[in-house]
Chains A and B, each alone.
Chain A
Amino acid sequence: MKIKGRVFILKDKDGNLIKDIDTDQIYHNMYLHITDINEMGKYCLGNLEGYENYPELAEKNDIIIAGHNFGAGSSRQHAVDCFRALGTGCIIAPSFGAIFKRNAINSAFPILECPHIEELIKSGKLSHGEMVELDFESGKVIKDNGEIIECKKPSKVQIEILKAGGLFEYGKKTG
């Protein structure tokens, strides 16, 4: 699976990737009554300081980059679904909150772990706004100039569920 999209980096005031972004910052609990995924996009990152207007800036296939433990906190599927609603291409972070990670995998939403992503950004190897192509199964980010950034390869189960189109379909095949 290949995804071509714009790099969108979530940084704090000091220019560091924002760590420990909690699900209440991604999708606030005041909107948890919503069950229609099409209504979820407009609240995406709505409680993350500096990124409240992300839904207006969002482009299809955005490749969002964030810090350690992205999606910490609650079990809400909305925190994944709001990105799916916006057509986000992938989220890359050094690590993810355990439940967020499962929720993303189960709904066939691509996420990649990339432990050294912050160093690459700081050394100018990857910039906000540039277009890159992702070769998801190999965990590679390919820049326009052909340079390759290696992330961790997704696990077998992650690839299988993604290919099946989600846990329900995967379960019908394997369960």
Chain B
Amino acid sequence: MGKTIVEKILSEHTKDEVKPGNVIWLDIDVRSARDFGGPNVVKHYREHYDSEPVDNPQKTFFTFDLVAPAKTIKYAINQSICRKFAKEQGIKVYDVGSGIGTHVLMEEGHIIPGKTAVGTDSHYNIVGAIGAFGQGMGDVDITFVFKTGRTWFEVPKTVKIKLKGTFEYPTTAKDLTLYILKHIKTDFALGRAIEFYGEAAESLPLYGRITLLSMVTEMGGIIGYVPFTEKTVEEVKAFTGRSDFSPTYADPDAEYEKEIEIDVSGLGSQVAAPPHPHNVYDAQDLKDVKVDMIYIGSCTNGREEDIESAWKILKGKKIKDGVVLSITPATRRAYKKLMDKGILQELFEMGAIITNPSCAGCAQGHPGMTGEGEVSLNTSNRNFPGKQGKGETYLVSPEVAAASAITGRITDPREVL
């Protein structure tokens, strides 16, 4: 019997039989912890393994991307605990200012297609965008992997999502992602691997794949894949600086638990209203919602292309008085590209806040939180109550974020183009 993409990658990393439902011992190529979770990993490590060496320091990393730089003493202490452990063990730290860990580890060529990677970040499955297997795990799991280089894993069933039709700019990958979430919520893919097919998925550029596949987490999924095209291969080579890989495709006779078709023909801009990422509406239906804060960034929409796309809409226009616009490139590399193009300067001159690369507005980062009654638009991936403050968070594309910054209310970008 044939294998799905996830089954093939897992098969390359275990001696056990890879079959949905089987528990296998999985070899892990890349392991990382960040400033949330990392200090707990060090604590568990010292308690259970004392000063024994980690399995492989070259494959082990710390990435500080959440409260970066530390804004309270407690976070500063936590980061220093990780730095000290890293020094003792010879582990590389991508320190504050490097950017979002998963993005950095792909850019630096540590995670490449076909590899397995785990870390204390629930959006680690974002590496599905480059055809790797990634999984967010808690600090117990990650401690164990630091020491042993492996962990147990239950092989997930794979489901298929076929997209019918195509859409045009200013509809982008984020709108597609939210529209899929609207259809499947967390019911269709909970605990499953997802393969996406159809032109609307397969024609996505790499940064669009990052957006879609990062939000497999919000679909409840384990990992998602869109089969590589020739263009994807070239983009992944440029992104990772590596060419020693070959893409993984599903076998024609691979077995899927179920499949669904979603028609995305002519799709318009989508917005996820509180309290769930799957509470999705057409942007036009929310045009009376006034906005106080707008945040562009995160692992889902923090690439240079995302921010450039927002800038194109904002260019020559003004940010509405009273609206706070914050922008956070995902990594130093994305930041530098935007700086070299003069885009950050223009955004700055328009009145936007540009922060250092990090996860920023997703958790308690530096772009700030909302107060009671305030509304924020966020290009990230979660809008659960209270996550980014006392106010209400709506999830949007960078294009909707930019258009709404001009008008001060939720706006379909076509209105301002």
Contact = CB atoms under 8 A, between A and B. Distances in A.
Interface string B104-139: 000000000000000011101000000000011111
Contacts of A72: 186, 218, 220
Interface string A19-43: 1101011001110110100000000
Nearest to A107: B140
Contacts of B385: 24-25, 47, 49
Contacts, number: 117
Contacts of A25: 384-386
Interface string B164-193: 000000000000000000000011001100
Report the contact-size class of chain B (Cβ under 8 Å from the partner): 35 or more
A140 to B, nearest CB: 22
A20 B124 CA distance: 20
B254 interface: no
Interface stretch (A1-9, A54-62, A93-101, A142-150): A93-101
B277 to A, nearest CB: 9
A24 B102 CA distance: 21
A88 interface: no
Contacts of B387: 22, 24, 29
B276 interface: yes
Interface string B1-25: 0000000000000000000000101
Interface string A67-86: 01100111111001000000
Contacts of A97: 190, 220
B83 interface: no
Nearest to A108: B140
Contact of B154 (A35, A74, A155): A155
Contact of A95 (B40, B190, B363): B190
A167 B139 CA distance: 11
Interface string B206-250: 000000000001101110000000000000000000000000000
B37 A77 contact: yes
B78 A35 contact: yes
Contacts of B39: 35
A143 B44 CA distance: 38
Interface string A116-153: 00000000000000000000000000000000000000
A15 interface: no
A21 B123 CA distance: 17
B150 interface: yes
Nearest to B118: A75
B68 to A, nearest CB: 13
B86 to A, nearest CB: 17
A156 interface: yes
Contact of B386 (A47, A107, A166): A47
8 contacts: A68-B190, A72-B220, A75-B121, A75-B122, A75-B137, A76-B37, A106-B140, A167-B151
Interface of A: 19-20, 22, 24-25, 28-30, 32-33, 35, 47, 49, 68-69, 72-77, 80, 95, 97-99, 101-103, 106-107, 155-157, 166-168, 171, 175
Given A69-B186, A95-B190, 7 more contacts: A29-B36, A99-B122, A103-B140, A106-B144, A107-B140, A167-B151, A175-B150
